[in-house]
Amino acid sequence: MGHLYLSRELTPGAMDAVRSLGLPLVVHDDPDRPPPRQRLLDDVRGASALITLLTERVDDELFDAAGPGLRVVANCAVGYDNVSVDAARARGIVVTNTPGVLDESTADVAFGLVLATSRRLVEADRFMRSGAEWVWGPQLFVGLDLSAGATLGIVGLGRIGMAVARRAAAFGMRILATGSRASSAEAHALGVQPADLSRLLAESDVVTLHCPLTPQTHHLIGAQQLAAMKPTAHLVNTARGPVVDEAALVHALERGVIAGAGLDVYEDEPRPHPGLLALDNVVLLPHIASAGRATRDAMGKLAVDNVRAVLAGDPPLTPVPG
Ligand code: GLV
């Protein structure tokens, strides 16, 4: 049996699970940065299993470098747009992801961004730290009330979107959603109304994205879609950066086409569009939506359980769909 390659040290609970496999282990030695490509290619040589992160491109070149003993790639993320799934399948390599365990953590941050952008919380924090003179005033940092009949539009109502819908329902928001689960009994019970994208964009006060990145969702939100939103509306993205045309978003935020945005992900990650950095009406996070400690432990453990199952000849727990 070859080694297990891990492209970054995980959280302590997840590392305990990794060690419990009892496999020879190669862990990239910089905990803060992904392995440079050539280093990655060198270190996977002879591996039976890889635990990868969304920062690695997992493709034919990597499979060639690993060699014929590679049996499983456990991507430690729910998204797997970094993995060439067809190339893996053609070689009989199993690909798994980590659905389910990060729904609540991701929904917390998505809803945190809904609050932060609509109530201008980060802008107000910057104002306080600037040392500016201030006194309470009826118009100081007024923003959008969420509970006063505001509408949340959830694009791609899956597991994470549903967790966001539960939060929005608790806030008394009206909820519109796209996606097949928008018509489910669970969605209905939360008061979710199914809508197509154009109605959702036109009627929502906050639009939050929860679809995977696929060729169909690349630039799903561009200049035309932003123009279809209300000028008082906000956009939240905790899905994947390229779902939004980031240059078009900067343009829209600069010109008041929409009121604000809260972003956890970027089109050219880790670099946000420079125009975003100059804007006050956008909240920027460094892709931390699943960064709850227990959640990160659970993601690592699920990746390990997938590796264990495949190497034992059992079906993986959470193979990528399709
Ligand atoms: C994080 O972005 C994930 O896909 O899990």
Atom of ligand 1 nearest to the CA of 102: 5
Which of 102, 213, 296 most suits a substitution to test ligand 1, by most atoms within 8 Å of the C-beta? 102
Element (H, E) at 38: helix 37-43
Q: At what angle do helices 159-170 and 103-118 cross, to 10 degrees?
A: 50
Give me ligand 1 centre to Cα 305, in Å: 18
Distance from Cα 79 to the centre of ligand 1, integer Å: 5
Interval between CA 307 and ligand 1 midpoint (Å): 19
Q: What pLDDT is recorded for position 322?
A: 80
The residue ranges of every structural domain in the chain are 3-100+293-311, 103-284
- Structural fold of domain 3-100+293-311: Rossmann fold (3.40.50)
Count other C-beta atoms under 10 Å from residue 192's C-beta: 26
Write down the pLDDT at residue 235.
99
Is the distance from CB of 216 to CB of 160 less than 8 angstroms?
no
Question: CATH topology of 3-100+293-311 equal to that of 103-284?
Answer: yes
For residue 19, the model assigns a pLDDT of: 97
Q: Quick one: pLDDT at residue 280?
A: 96
Round the CA-based radius of gyration of the chain to a whole number and report it.
Answer: 21
Fold assignment, 103-284: Rossmann fold (3.40.50)
Model pTM?
Answer: 0.97
Tell me whether residue 269 is one of the annotated catalytic residues: yes
- What is the CB < 6 Å shell around ligand 1? 54, 77-79, 102, 290
Atom 1, ligand 1: residue with shortest CA distance: 77
3-state secondary structure of 141: coil
| 123 catalytic per annotation | no
Write down the pLDDT at residue 148. Answer: 85
- How many angstroms separate the CA atoms of 275 and 229, rounded? 20
C-alpha 136/C-alpha 158 separation (Å) is 42
Rounded to the nearest angstrom, the distance between the alpha carbon of 260 and the centre of ligand 1 is: 23
Atom of ligand 1 nearest to the CA of 240: 2
User: Read out DSSP for 51-72?
Assistant: EE-TTS-BSHHHHHHH-TT--E
The tokens describing 93, both together, are 């390599």
CB 290 within 8 A of CB 104: no
Q: How far is CA 311 from CA 94, 161, 232, 264, in A?
A: 10, 33, 53, 35
DSSP lists the bridge partners of residue 253 as: none
Nearest-CA residue for atom 3 of ligand 1: 77
Ligand 1 binding pocket mutation candidate from 10, 53, 78, 285 (most atoms within 8 A of CB)? 78
The rounded distance, in Å, linking the Cα atoms of 188 and 190 is 5
Spot the catalytic one: 240, 273, 296, 308: 240
Cα(184)–Cα(60) distance, rounded to whole angstroms? 39
Closest CA to 56 of 71, 38, 68: 38
- Distance (angstroms) between ligand 1 centre and the Cα of 154 equals 18
Alpha helix stretches (DSSP H) within 85-179: 85-90, 103-118, 121-129, 159-170
The protein residue with its alpha carbon nearest to ligand 1, atom 5, reads 77
CB 78 within 8 A of CB 107: no
Provide the b/e sequence for 147-161 (b: ≥16 CB within 10 Å). Answer: eeebbbbbbbbbbbb
**Which atom of ligand 1 is found nearest the CA of 287?**
2
Report the alpha-carbon distance of residue 266 to residue 243 in Å, rounded.
Answer: 9
* DSSP class per residue in 184-231: SHHHHHTTEEE--HHHHHHH-SEEEE-PPP-TTTTTSB-HHHHHHS-T
240 is catalytic: yes
23: closest CA among 39, 41, 4?
4
Q: What is the pLDDT along the chain (322 residues), one digit of tens a residue?
A: 899 999 999 999 999 999 999 999 999 999 999 999 999 999 999 999 999 999 999 999 999 999 999 999 999 999 999 999 999 999 999 999 999 999 999 999 999 999 999 999 999 999 999 999 999 999 999 999 998 889 999 999 999 999 999 999 999 999 999 998 999 999 999 999 999 999 999 999 999 999 999 999 999 999 999 999 999 999 999 999 999 999 999 999 999 999 999 999 999 999 999 999 999 999 999 999 999 999 999 999 999 999 999 999 999 999 999 8
